[in-house]
Amino acid sequence: MDTVKLTIDNREVEVPKGTTILKAAQSMGIDIPTLCHFELEGLDIHNRPGGCRICVVEVEKRRNLAPACVTECMEGMVVKTNSIRAINARKTVLELILSDHPADCLQCAKNGRCELQDLAARFGIRENPYMGGNHVQSQYQVEVSPSIIRDMNKCVMCRRCETMCNELQTVGALSAIERGFPAVVSTAFNQHLDHSPCTFCGQCVAVCPVGALTEVDHTSKIIRAIADPTKKTVVQVAPAVRVALGEEFGMEPGTIVTGKLTAALKALGFDYVFDTDWSADLTIMEEGTELIGRLTRYLNGDKDVALPILTSCCPAWVNFFEHQFPEMRALPSTAKSPQQMFGAIAKSYFAEKINCKREDMVSVSVMPCLAKKYECSRDEFKVNGNPDVDYSISTRELARLIKLANIDFASLPEAEFDSPLGESTGAGVIFGTTGGVIEAAVRTAYEVITKKPLPKIDFEELRGLEGVRSATIDVDGLKLNIGIAHGLRNARKLLEDIKAGKCQFHAIEIMACPGGCIDGAGQPLHHGNSDIIKARWEAIYRADKEMPIRKSHENPSIQAIYKEYLGEPCGHKSHELLHTHYFDRQTTVEVDVDKK
Amino acid sequence: MDKIIIKMKKEVREKIIEICNKFNNQPGELINVLHQTQDYLGYLPAEAQELIAECLHIPTAKVYGVVSFYAFFTMTPKGKHPISVCLGTACYVRGAEKVLDAFKKELNLEVGQTTEDGEFSLTCLRCVGACGLAPVAMVGDKVYGRLAPDMIKGIVAEYK
C-alpha cells in the first residue's frame, strides 16, 4: 500500500495514501474536535461535508487553514493542530455557530449529550462576542410527529441527518432548505413529517449532534399509568435492548443485561414483565408457515405466487415500501411485527386470562426503535380506538425512567421474565440484528419441511454486517435462496432487482437500520463509534447460545398458545390477531379531470 | 394514510413533462428544468415541484431545497406587471432603498409579494447593467432610470 510521511504537532507519522489529517491525528492520539463530521466505519456511512470548520488546522506553506476532516495527508506535510491561529479560528467558528443557537441547554432534551454543548465546554466559552447583535435567529415551529420531534431553531446545518435520510436510507424526506440564517434541514415545503416520505426510522435522530432532532418522550405517561391503581401495566422488551441498555449505566458495550433489565422493570412497578422475544417466536411460527405455504405452492407449479417473501418485522421498512414501492406490497409477509403480535395477544389472550378489560390494560413496549412509536399508533393496530400497544419507549427513555426512579441498575439482582409471555428461545433473541429473523425462520422451516432435526443450529452464512448478503441453504435437497439487506439503500437495490426480474431469492430479510435493531435509533447514542455496534452484534449471538431452547417451534409456551387459543399457525384466529395488510402511500401528480 | 394524489391541469402537466424530457430527465439538469418551468408558469407551485421530482427521480425535498435556496425562484405567482427594483451597489448608493420604500408604500406590498388582484408583484435584483441610470427599476421589460421616490406614483399609474 502506498503511504505518505508527514509531521503533525512536531511528530512524524506514516499513513496510507488518502488518509485525512483527522484520521492520521487520531492514530497518534491527537484529538482534533469535529462537529459536522460523522462516520460509522465498517458500515460505509459517512458525512464529510467539511462545512462546519470546527476541525481547522494550520498546514505549513498553505495560505488558509485546512479542514482536517476532508484534507488528505500529503508527503512532507507539516501540520499544526494546536497553533494559536488554529485555536482562535476554531473558537471563532464555534462562537458564530452558537450565536445562531438557542442557549436553553438546561431544558433541552439533549442536555448532557449534546456535541455542541461539549465543544462549548471544551473551548471554555464564557461569553460570545457575536451575541446581542442584529443577527436574525431563525424562528421555526417545533414539530411533533408520532416518533420524532423537530426543533429546527437548534439545527446547526451539519447535514448529518440529510446524509442518513438520502444516502443511507434513500428515503429523501429531508434536504437542506433556504439560505443564510433561515437555512436548516427540512422536508419539502417545510411540511409536517407525516406528509413526507419519512419512514420514522429515526437514523436522523441517532446522529443529530444537538437537540434539533429528538424522540417523542413517553416517560411521564408511563409513570402515570404505573401509578394508576385501576390500570394493569404490561411491558414487553425487544431483543436488542438487552445488549445495549447497560451502556447507559457505564457498562461495556455488548454487556448482556437481561436479568437486571427485568429486575428494573419490576422495580419500576410494571404488573407484568414480558419479552418481545416470545412474540418473535410467534412471528416465526406465522411468517415461517407463510413462507412454507408460498414455497410449496411455487414448487407445485403455481407461478403467480408472491415470491420472494419479504420480512415485515421492521416498521420503518414497512413505511418504506408503502411509500416507495407500493406496487410490490403483496410480497412482504402479512405477519405483524413482534411488537404488534405481542400487543394483540396481551390485550386478548392474556387479558382474558387475568380477567382484565381491554381499556384497563396499558400495554408498553421497550424498543431500540423510534419507528415502533409510529407503528403502534397506526389505526389497523387499534380495536375501537384502543391501541394494542399504548406506548412504545426507546432504550434511552427506559434508562431515563430507571434513573428517575432512583434504581441503581448496576447493583440490581437479576430477575426472570414473567410467565406465560416471557418464555423465549435463542431464535427470538437474534431478531435483534441483521440476518437474525431469517436465521430464526430457517431453523424452524428446515425442521417443519424435512421433519428431521437440524444438523447444526448456527447458520454462520447468514450472519455478518455487509449491507447485502446472500446464502443458499440446503433444506434436504431443496435449495433455499436467501437474501438479506440492512439499511434501506440496500433494500432498494434488492427491490429494484425484483422489479427487473433479476432476483433469484425465495426469501429476503430487510431491516431499515444499519446492523439491524442493535443500531436502532432508540438505542444509546454511539456518536459514530462502530465498535459499539459490533459489540452489541456479538452479544446478540452470545445471548442466543446461552438459551436452552434455540428454535421457535420448540418454545413450550408458544406450543401451548396454539393448543389452547390460536389453533393452527396462519389459521383463522391467527389471521384475525396476528396478520395485517399494507397501504399505497405514494404521492403522485395526476391530471385534474374536473378542470380539464 | 392513503395515497396522496395531487391534481394538476392536463396542459400544465404535459408541458412540465415535456420540459423534463427535453433535459432527458437528468437530475443534474434540475436548475434548467426549474428555470423553464418558471418561465412557463411564472412561478414554481408545490405541485410543479412534486411533478419535477417524479420525472427526475429525485426527492421533492431536494427540489424544494434548490427552489428555496435561489432568490430567483419563487413559489408566489408574479403579478401581471412584475416590478423589480435594483439594489446593486450603484443604485443603492444613489438611493434605491428610498425608491423601493416608495413602491412598497404605493402598492402596500412587501418584497416577494403580489397584490391581491394579481396586477403587481415586487422583487429586488442586483444590477441590470444600467448603472449610469441609477437608481433603476424595471416594470416587466421596461427600464426606468434616474428614479426618485416622488416619481413612483406616476409609474404605477401607467399600468392601472
Residues of A in contact with B59 (CB under 8 A): 166, 171-173, 175, 188, 197
In A, residues 371-410, which contact B (CB 8 Å cutoff)? 378-379
Could you tell me which chain B residue has the CA closest to the CA of A186?
A: B61
Max CA distance (Å), chain B: 59
- Check the CA dihedral A130-A132-A136-A138 and report its sign: positive
- A347 with A440, same domain: the answer is yes
How do residues A215-239 score in pLDDT, each as one tens digit? Answer: 999 999 999 999 999 999 999 999 9
- A51 with A174, same domain: the answer is no
Residues of A in contact with B53 (CB under 8 A): 188
Domain coverage including residue B32:
10-69
Mean predicted confidence (pLDDT) in A332-360: 97
Give the other-Cβ count within 10 Å of A584's Cβ.
15
- B153 with B118, same domain: the answer is yes
- B50 with B117, same domain: the answer is no
Put simply, whether A186 touches B (Cβ < 8 Å) is: yes
Mean predicted confidence (pLDDT) in A54-62: 97
pLDDT tier for residue A595 given thresholds of 50, 70 and 90: very low
- A114 with A66, same domain: the answer is no
Domain coverage including residue A325:
219-578
Residue B4 belongs to some domain of the structure = no
Indicate yes or no: CB of A585 within 8 angstroms of CB of B2. yes
Indicate yes or no: CB of B3 within 8 angstroms of CB of A188. no
- A341 with A487, same domain: the answer is yes
ipTM value for the complex: 0.89
- Check the CA dihedral A327-A332-A338-A340 and report its sign: positive
Strands (E) in A339-419, as ranges, are 361-367, 382-383, 386-387, 391-394
Share of chain A above pLDDT 90, in %: 89
Residues of B in contact with A586 (CB under 8 A): 3-4
Number of domains in chain B: 2
Q: For residue B82, what are the β-bridge partners? A: B121
Identify the CA nearest to B49 among candidates B2, B6, B4.
B6
DSSP tag of A370: S
pLDDT tier for residue A596 given thresholds of 50, 70 and 90: very low
- B57 with B98, same domain: the answer is no
Residue A587 belongs to some domain of the structure = no
* Of the partner residues B3, B9, B61, the one whose CB lies closest to the CB of residue A586: B3
Give the other-Cβ count within 10 Å of B56's Cβ.
20
- B65 with B89, same domain: the answer is no
How do residues B104-138 score in pLDDT, each as one tens digit? Answer: 999 999 998 999 998 999 999 888 888 999 999 99
Put simply, whether A138 touches B (Cβ < 8 Å) is: no
Report pLDDT for A264: 98
Indicate yes or no: CB of B4 within 8 angstroms of CB of A195. yes
Residue B1 belongs to some domain of the structure = no
- Tell me if A367 sits within 8 A of A194, measured CB to CB: no
Put simply, whether A326 touches B (Cβ < 8 Å) is: yes
Mean predicted confidence (pLDDT) in A24-28: 97
CB pairs under 8 A between A and B: 98
- Tell me if A80 sits within 8 A of A9, measured CB to CB: yes
Q: Apex CA A345: angle with CA A344 and CA A347, to 5°?
A: 70
Measured CA to CA, the distance from residue B5 to residue B58 in angstroms comes to 18
Residue A249 CA from chain centroid, whole number: 20
Put simply, whether A113 touches B (Cβ < 8 Å) is: no
Q: Smallest CA–CA separation between B139 and chain A, in Å?
A: 27
Q: Smallest CA–CA separation between B65 and chain A, in Å?
A: 4
- Tell me if A36 sits within 8 A of A49, measured CB to CB: yes
* Of the partner residues A179, A583, A592, the one whose CB lies closest to the CB of residue B1: A583
